[in-house]
A and B are shown apart, each in its own frame.
Chain A
């Protein structure tokens, strides 16, 4: 057990010096040179040495408590929104239909984002994590445009589900 710690301490000294003198190395070289990478198989990722504190993201209410509250309010609001939209009909209340569409897409986006944060965190996946996050954002923008087009040029989401259910 202590030998593993000694090995990690020595490794991190190498990482610290390597990070200090490295400028902009291409990612392929970074991946190959395991002594330069910050990922120790099975271990946490150190920045600097074992004596440096774990870096945390700067505290911000927008990404913290406000995001949490917004997510819960959105989820709670989806219940009356869905019931109302299907109790009436999308053609009679197009604004309700549009609201439901936007809320559903936002709820889905937050859900997908949580999946990425859990399984592809940028701390452990420095390239794939941010890449998929931006891919998700682009896809959500496309979906919003698609939902708008569908609600404007076609019958709308609630009407489609209602009709398809009884087709």
Chain B
């Protein structure tokens, strides 16, 4: 099959590897060359599944989520969840904070604190709150439209998606400068 013409260093390496060695018989060489200190463990045959599963858990998986092309459909969907979760975390956090420490978190202190911030920070804060609220609200209406059977084509999903993005931009500006 393959031409095994001996060229180069291969024959020399082969000879060196296959030459009989007298290390085991030579006491001086035996102490010089370090003995392998590998610990072996005796396991029953039934442990094979366990070892196999442990190996499977350590194996890497091919990229799937990281290589999916960003599209309006799924980016919009996860943005709906992230905005909703973020706003809810704020609501839950404030309610629990007021429950735990009503003296620190009552309305007078909160309004005082916000009033003392620089203008740029106030506008930034309003934008950070208004944008997720606007997006979640408009996309929520898009979801309710889907539940009524509308926009359920690819074209419908994209048209409504772009409409939601436009409405979000306009609403955010309106809310910030209200």
Contacts and interface: CB of A to CB of B under 8 A. Distances in A.
Interface of A: 7, 10-11, 14, 33-35, 40-42, 72, 75-76, 79, 104-105, 108, 111-112, 115, 139-140, 142-147, 149-150, 153-155, 159-160, 163-165, 167
A71 to B, nearest CB: 10
Contact of B95 (A10, A41, A72, A150): A150
Nearest to B115: A167
B67 to A, nearest CB: 18
Given A108-B92, A164-B111, 13 more contacts: A7-B52, A35-B46, A40-B53, A41-B59, A75-B140, A104-B91, A112-B88, A142-B99, A146-B99, A149-B102, A150-B98, A163-B107, A167-B111
A112 B85 CA distance: 7
B142 to A, nearest CB: 12
A158 B46 CA distance: 64
Contacts of A41: 53, 56-57, 59
Nearest to B133: A82
A159 B12 CA distance: 90
A59 to B, nearest CB: 21
Interface of B: 46, 49-50, 52-54, 56-57, 59, 61, 81, 84-85, 87-88, 91-92, 94-99, 102, 106-107, 110-111, 114-115, 122, 126, 137, 140-141, 143-144, 147, 178
Contacts of A147: 95
Contacts of A143: 91-92, 95-96
B85 A115 contact: yes
B84 to A, nearest CB: 5
Contact of B49 (A14, A149, A153): A14
A14 B126 CA distance: 59
Given A160-B110, A164-B111, A108 B49 contact: no
Contact of B91 (A7, A105, A154, A163): A105
A12 to B, nearest CB: 10
Nearest to A32: B50
Given A14-B49, A105-B91, A149-B99, A115 B54 contact: no
A111 B88 contact: yes
A1 to B, nearest CB: 15
A-B pairs with the 9 shortest C-beta distances?
A146-B95, A108-B88, A146-B99, A41-B56, A34-B53, A167-B115, A143-B95, A167-B114, A34-B50
B98 A149 contact: yes
Contacts of A164: 110-111, 114
Contacts of B85: 111-112, 115
A35 B92 contact: no
A155 B107 CA distance: 7
A153 to B, nearest CB: 7
B107 A160 contact: yes
16 contacts: A7-B49, A34-B49, A34-B50, A40-B56, A76-B144, A111-B84, A111-B88, A112-B85, A139-B96, A143-B91, A143-B92, A146-B96, A149-B99, A149-B102, A150-B98, A154-B98
